[in-house]
Amino acid sequence: MTYKKSDAPDTTITRNSGDLGDKVGNLYESLAIISKRADQIGRDIKEELNAKLSEFASSSDNLEEIFENREQIEISKYYEKLPKPLALAMVEFENDQIYYRNPTNEEGETE
């Protein structure tokens, strides 16, 4: 999923907890799935941001040589405006775009 073109909301939305639990059968399992996906998205965004900002890294430690870089500021502002990873994960979960499985509920096991 492209995070930049997501239709995830920028603000908090109140959701019915019953609807979240209906997809998997357990509310807490649904929240665990969403949480793990949000962690993955957060790591991906952070790696992408760090890669872009590393281009501006200074090799010297002299504070006098550090100056304001407009491109670096624009990149940082862009990533600050992106929806939060949890909002992106919620949209993916609601649209059935997350693959998940529970090994304890696999076929062949008796309950």
pLDDT at site 56: 75
pLDDT 10s digits, 77-90? 888 888 899 999 99
pLDDT 10s digits, 19-75? 888 888 889 999 999 999 999 999 999 999 999 888 877 666 555 445 567 788 888
pLDDT at site 36: 95
Q: Which of 43, 20, 26, 22 is nearest to 90 (CA)?
A: 20
Q: Which of 29, 49, 46, 39 is nearest to 86 (CA)?
A: 39
pLDDT at site 35: 95
How is the chain split into domains, by residue range?
17-58+65-100
pLDDT at site 109: 47
Q: Give the torsion sign (CA, 77, 79, 82, 83).
A: negative
